[in-house]
Structure 1
Amino acid sequence: MRARYIGAALAAVTAAALTACGSDSDSAASGPITVFAAASLTGSFTQIGKDFEAANPGTTVTFSFAGSSALATQIDQGAPADVFAAAAPANMKTVTDAGNADGTPQNFVKNQLVIAVPKGNPNNVTTLADLAKPGVKVALCAPQVPCGAAAQKALQSASVPVTPVTQEQDVKAALSKVTLGEVDAALVYRTDARAAAGDVDGIEFPESAGAVNEYPIVVLKNGPNRTGGQAFVNYVLSPPARKVLTDAGFQAP
């Protein structure tokens, strides 16, 4: 009788422990989560956010998409965000050097540049050198923006002198100059050209292989929902989210 009682008691304790663990897991991600992410992640992260909310009832993910350099500055100035996903390690380093990262950033994807031209390629731009031809109007991202730094690296390695007619603060803005017909070409990420395939053609060029950007992600130390932030980071690193990213044209890290 005593043995039966002890066995029942142990079973009850075990069940209670398992229930508690399940509750902790279920409540790990809850409430609002704010994510600052590079503009080039807009489409993919919007979908990943919806998938994350579906997998974690009670959560709401709000995104702020912009150039990584601008987002890093906002974070270091105290903007309330739980997660930062940058388009280059240099912009992430700004945040980690300021002591605002909770842990070590993890690279989760890579991205590569293409030449975006209007649909049908009316100016017959086929190489990086074509961007230096007289009369060809080119948009680039600003040098401090990851897509701008990558563009400069590619152009310098190919010894192609390009004077852009505009320098934009994020890749979406540079691409919009092409879709609006304001420029003849822009150096943008492969993923952005693919997302706008109805309006632009993406021209691959070999020099882009030497200017690939790695994308790091990290939970922020002063975020109002660090637990939720960590759950979102974990989800971004999971197979379902990775599929969304690779389907959009991102490369595995």
Structure 2
Amino acid sequence: MQVSVDLFIPCFVDQIAPDIGFSMIKILEKVGCSVHYNPNQTCCGQPAFNAGFFSEAEEVASKFVADFRQALEREHHYIVAPSASCVGMVRNQYERLLAGSLQKEYLFALENKIFELCEFLVDVLEIDRVPGAYYKAKAVYHDSCSALRECMIYDAPRKLLANVEGLELYSLEYAQECCGFGGTFSAKFPAIAAGMAMQKVEDALKQGADVIISSDFSCLLHLDGYIQKHQKNIQTRHIADILASGW
């Protein structure tokens, strides 16, 4: 059975860390998927939605559905993103945004066809290992709030990382606490957000980690800001880059 995947690349990944998208392609093709990318895609609408601009968010959501209609109308065709934040937005908020729209007929398909990368590999493809993945480091895994609370993703990334050759994975003491990013939260309350980032980074250092891994680049960007400002001896890496390393 040929599984087809349409990539959804979040705005901040596209603009700041496009290599994450290329790592996704490498991984998905490695495990036998046919990968497609629609260059007309833009945003999931989350920034506008979180800021209270609901009519603008509805317009972006309608465009999202139009851009990915092919995946929604075909069997064994999925939408996969390297961000639980965007996936959570589509799954949990589009029903509200598109309830009165011509696109509402696609809501059920959307909720069942869009996946964060790790949950797609583990829960849909039933894969817990990316062949050849190698990354020599001591690491901790950071659960983004969106992954943990909106998408209920916990086991999938850990299963994949447990099978990365050379990687020693340790647990954070405060694993389920927010890193402080929270989208507009870090812009509105920078002092509180910085304090939360400090707690997360110091927790990772306490565990002896060389790297903090996450499936949400926005969290890593926030944590890396604290790391760079205070010159902490630790790195941040997206899980797609880890799984695509060594082969």
**Superposition TM-score, scaled by structure 1 size:** 0.29
Structure with greater strand share of residues: 1
Greater Cα radius of gyration, structure 1 or 2: 1
Tell me: higher relative CO, structure 1 or 2? Use CA pairs within 8 A at least 6 residues apart: 1
Structure with greater helix share of residues: 2
**Superposition TM-score, scaled by structure 2 size:** 0.30
